[in-house]
Chains A and B, each alone.
Chain A
Amino acid sequence: MMILKVAWRNIWRSRVRSLVVIGAVLIGVWSFIAMMALSLGMTGGYVDNAIRYQTSHIQIHHPEFNEDKELAFMIEDDLTEDLEAKSEIVSTAYRSIANGMIRSSRSARGVAIKGVIPEQEERLSQISEKIVEGTYFQEDKNNQIIVSRELAEKLKVRLRKKVVIQFQDLNKEIVASSFRIVGMFSTGNTMADLASVFVLQDDLNELIGKDNALHEIAMIIKDVEQLENVQQDLKSTYPDLLIENYREIAPDVQLYESQIYVSLSILLAIFMLALIFGIINTMLMAVLERTRELGMLMAIGMNRIRVFFMIVMETLMLGIIGAPLGMLIGWLTVKYLNRTGIDLSGFAKGIERFGMDTVIYPSLDTEMYLQLMVSVLITALLASVYPAIKAIRLRPMEAIRKL
């Protein structure tokens, strides 16, 4: 197509000017990809942590448990067989939970005391991997407790020291028992770490006064995309239980997830807007300095549709040449940083408190690259309209005579 050839060659008439625009697009796309990957890496880390150590994908409770945290709001049904039969569910943990106090000789704090089955938690919450002092639960020992290092510091206790846990049992009687700290964990989320301690389920249930006390079932599913389907399926099977996904359990996670997209969209809009003005400016210059030539083209019979098309194509090419290259560099940057990670611990000490990892692994879906490409295309298309209109408004006779 000859007009495309003309349009393409026209771009290179003002090499430097065109390269400035192409460079701007390239750098813009590149930095946008890097920033997007960084933000998503940060959110991803946060969400992953929240799921892994706090919420899992789906949790099941007695409908009133979340409000009152009363021991009496137990899950009475036996879901074990049913849940094991579901192929979407990768791992499940059954917990009894008592809200009470943990006391050392120096201090006391309110915590959620989680009675767990060690093997289940190992598969599900991987708290075992976050043990920073001591060990995970050991076999054949009673009254073991695992607390976070932060909590131990608050209580001013050390490993292998005893602490007392205390709560109201099912009969509203205060029960207390002493536990020995076998391990300390730290997940990176200080707030969450301070709020829970882990003991063996048998030990806790004995204190509660009911062998099979069960308050929480947490599970991880195979494919997060299927989250709502699995949840819906469970809901219909167990209408009397409260079945929530991680977004419902921790609205902050959802907020964080959605907010990052909003802020990225705003940033993208700003980037596009700046790009539009840059492209319009360049193309307007290109059109105005070619007034006579455009006049000649219209005089010899190039109609307005073709002139319009030519300028649009020229603008489009100018606007998008830089994008693929910017994406390639961006992709390589993300790939590299994803392997090495960005260590923020040096200059962001407080970041752990918010439950974020100090090492960020930027990552970006292919879909995002496509979306960005489409955005650049739309930007260039929008930017092409004004210069093209300007070009076809020229009156050939006046343009030619403008000597």
Chain B
Amino acid sequence: MAVIITEQIEKIYNPDKVPVHALRGVDLEIDEGEFTAIVGPSGSGKTTLLNIIGGLDTPTKGKVYIAGTDISTLSGNGMINFRKDHIGFIFQSYNLIPVLTARENVEFIMMLQKKSKKERDQRANELLDAVGLHDKKNKRPMELSGGQQQRVAVARALASKPSFILADEPTANLDSQSTADLLDMMAELNREEGMTFVFSTHDQRVIDRARRVITLIDGKIAKDEVR
């Protein structure tokens, strides 16, 4: 079943002054359980596409369906609430709330979903165990390494039971070992839990691990290979 469907999406920035065509008609379908990388040089529209399927931006034209919902019709708090329940985000940095511990960061999103304290506790513990941070649960982000922070971000993204996880350059600030560990962990979650992952990346190490690589050039899909 398709988690993400885009239909002929176009994005034009500055339509009145100096129009910039970031996306020129992208048709895309990503199924449940995929482990997919979206790649492309700077200016290829990669980030724009990611923002649009992440519900952070809206297309100028075309439609986006996430888990069956047309999100181009949502706005404001509707969109925010949709993201909360359907999309797990992992950013390059600034993923975590610095004043909260690892456990509290994972709990936070469940608090937004109005889950009970008991459920939050239990799930936060399970997830932090699953990402290998069972002994760092009460550390604040400042006290964790970059790799550990990204693991907390993965746990946080999973906590809300999203339809898919969108990872925007998740390894950009990590060393090779941390990158390998993080990718192993995400691949395992993908394999065992069936969680769908969509990456945007420049990182060859990530591209090598992806099972589908979508290459964008000049706002269009230039290549779509499944390995």
Q: How many A-B residue pairs have CB under 8 A?
A: 70
**Chain B residues with CB below 8 A from A293, complex form:** 94, 97-98
Closest to A291 in B: B94
Residue of A nearest to B90 (CB): A300
**Interface stretch of the complex, out of A107-115, A216-224, A303-311:** A303-311
Q: Is the CB of A303 within 8 A of B81?
A: yes
- In the complex, what's the smallest C-beta–C-beta distance from A4 to chain B, in angstroms? 11
Q: Which of B80, B99, B108 contacts A303 (CB 8 A)?
A: B80
Q: List residues 281-326 of chain A with CB under 8 A from any CB of chain B.
A: 292-293, 295-306
Which listed segment binds B: A185-193, A248-256, A394-402?
A: A394-402
Inter-chain contacts of B56 with A (CB < 8 A): 299, 396-397, 400
- Residues 35-88 of B at the A interface (beta carbon under 8 Å): 47, 51, 54, 56-57, 76-77, 80-81, 83-85
Give every chain A residue within 8 A of B112 (Cβ-Cβ).
300-303, 306
Chain A: interface residue total (CB-CB under 8 A): 26
Minimum distance in angstroms from B169 CB to a CB of chain A: 10
- A10 close to B (CB within 8 Å): yes
Inter-chain contacts of B76 with A (CB < 8 A): 304
A269 sits at the interface (CB 8 A): no
Kindly list chain A residues whose C-beta atoms are within 8 Å of the C-beta of B80.
Answer: 298, 301-304
Are B94 and A297 within 8 A (Cβ)? no
| B94 contacts A400, C-beta separation under 8 Å | yes
The answer to whether the Cβ of A332 comes within 8 Å of any Cβ in the partner chain is no
Q: Which of B77, B84, B111 contacts A305 (CB 8 A)?
A: B77
Query: Is B123's CB within 8 Å of the partner chain A?
Result: no
Q: Are B156 and A300 in contact (CB under 8 A)?
A: yes
Residues from chain B with Cβ under 8 Å of A5 in the complex: 100, 104
Contact residues in A for B95 (Cβ distance below 8 Å) = 296
Residues in B with CB closer than 8 Å to A154 are: none
Minimum C-beta distance from A3 to chain B (A): 8
Q: Does A13 contact B (CB under 8 A)?
A: yes
Q: Is the CB of A300 within 8 A of B84?
A: yes
Query: In whole Å, how far is A27's beta carbon from the nearest beta carbon of chain B?
Result: 27
Decide if A299 touches B77 in the complex (CB within 8 Å).
no
17 additional contacts (CB under 8 A) given A301-B84, A303-B81: A2-B107, A3-B111, A6-B99, A6-B108, A9-B99, A12-B99, A13-B98, A295-B94, A299-B89, A300-B83, A300-B156, A301-B81, A301-B112, A303-B77, A303-B84, A396-B56, A400-B94
- 21 A-B pairs within 8 Å (CB atoms) are namely A2-B107, A2-B111, A3-B111, A6-B97, A9-B99, A13-B99, A293-B98, A298-B80, A299-B56, A299-B83, A299-B89, A300-B83, A300-B89, A300-B156, A301-B81, A304-B76, A304-B77, A305-B77, A400-B56, A400-B94, A401-B47
